[in-house]
Structure 1
Amino acid sequence: MALTRDFKETVLARIQADPRYGDALLNEGIECMLAGDVDTGKAILRDYIKATLGFAKLGAETGASPKSLMRMFSAGGNPQARNLFAVIGHLQTQSGVTLHVTAHRNARKRQSHTLP
């Protein structure tokens, strides 16, 4: 489902009014990707990029084509890890936010099997 223009303008206004919201959006987009929900992560990062520096400026600052970046974060886009990490690194620098990955072991119930 496509987002309405009103929603996109709301995200832009919220980020401009509260930079911490933008930081949270950046964090959430990357967390979604790390959790395996790449499509949601790309959508969140796409909105974040549009609301902050924009694809034209991001392209100029990273040396990538703005159209290529837009495709990369589109619903059908399949970014290469090198390009994705370059963009994420730049977004961290641009925003002043440093993200860290922390490993957590999921507590899974161990199934006990008894031999007959």
Structure 2
Amino acid sequence: MSLQHLDPNELIYEVQDFQRSSPENLVCADCKTPDPRWASYNLGCFLCLRCSGIHRSLGTHISKVKSIDLDTWTVEQVQSMLDRGNKICNQYWEAKLPEDFLPPQR
């Protein structure tokens, strides 16, 4: 689907629809808190408020965070989310974790 035809104000709905389309996207990619309202669009993952703050502290050269409710999104940012999501993001970033690793808990 082409996002180019959408009004800039409608792009956020594409991100929200994508979030609802996959069970993995309905929890924070990092700590599994339900209903994350933030996203790292360059990494392609959905985040809770707490984890979004941690991502922001990493710097924008590592993670670029936006609200999936309040911020304005570009076509490129939306496409980055649609290309990934929490499942793909975590498969990549957690691939080398030891089997006994315990993810952060809320």
TM-score for the superposition, normalised by structure 2 = 0.29
Higher helix share: 1
Greater relative contact order (Cα < 8 A, sep 6+): 2
TM-score for the superposition, normalised by structure 1 = 0.28
